[in-house]
Structure 1
């Protein structure tokens, strides 16, 4: 019988990527029985804009906007988003995100359709390089 996993985001250690973005790994193969899904909570600083980038074709991604206002550029087309909106990003698609607020953080959940291999997700790789693993709680050193 499969066993589920409950993660409380407030108990997950934050990775500070830079002054514009921080990240909490919520679900992956290190803290659950998943073999196919990675879920991250991203915090985009007020006014921050991230450059267009893409992933390998085999890595689809979904953005779920939790709070705030965003602009997502998907293959050159800009879309205005707010809490509750969802974006499907097929593998290989160019995409970028910007926080439309100058005063509030943008909170997004990113869901990958498979677990990233080394080199597929720079933030995931940074977490593993700095911590020696992808998931940490606030109680861990």
Structure 2
């Protein structure tokens, strides 16, 4: 049997992608025994809208809305979301997210069905480029 892992999000270093999005890698192979899942906490700035994009067909993704109100466009269809809502995004699907509030952050958890290979997840790649690894605590430089 494998060893479980507990991560306190407040102790995870934030990657600031740009003025509209930041993220914390919570679980991946760097800090746990997983070989099959990646969980990220994404923070979308008030009023921010991200453009449609897709992942390789072999990467499914799930959004879990934690805080705030969002609009998710999935293959051209817009859906209004609030805390507790879940979105399944099949690999290869076009999707985008927008924060519906002009004053509060949107917090979402993203779950990937497997660990990304280089080029599959630009934010994951940026984290590796800037930090040399995907996970850091706030105590690390």
Task: Name 2:25's counterpart in structure 1.
Answer: 25
Are 2:125 and 1:106 equivalent residues in the alignment? no
Q: How many aligned positions are there?
A: 141
- Tell me, in whole angstroms, the C-alpha distance in 2 between the residues paired with 1:56 and 1:30: 22
Are 2:67 and 1:67 equivalent residues in the alignment? yes
- Tell me, in whole angstroms, the C-alpha distance in 2 between the residues paired with 1:93 and 1:69: 22
Runs of 4+ residues deviating >6 angstroms? none
Instruction: Provide TM-score, normalisation by structure 1.
Output: 1.00
Q: Matches of residues 1-141 of structure 1 in structure 2 within 5 Å?
A: 1-141=1-141
- Tell me, in whole angstroms, the C-alpha distance in 1 between the residues paired with 2:52 and 2:118: 20
Alpha-carbon offset, residue 2 of structure 1:
1.3
Q: Which runs of 5+ in 2 are unaligned?
A: none
- Tell me, in whole angstroms, the C-alpha distance in 2 between the residues paired with 1:45 and 1:110: 16
- Tell me, in whole angstroms, the C-alpha distance in 2 between the residues paired with 1:35 and 1:133: 16
Instruction: Provide TM-score, normalisation by structure 2.
Output: 1.00
Alpha-carbon offset, residue 86 of structure 1:
0.1
- Tell me, in whole angstroms, the C-alpha distance in 2 between the residues paired with 1:47 and 1:122: 22
Show CA shifts across 1:4-32 (max 9, x none). 00000000000000000000000000100
Show CA shifts across 1:34-85 (max 9, x none). 0010000000000000000000000000000000000000000000000000
Q: Which runs of 5+ in 1 are unaligned?
A: none
- Tell me, in whole angstroms, the C-alpha distance in 1 between the residues paired with 2:8 and 2:113: 21
Alpha-carbon offset, residue 89 of structure 1:
0.1
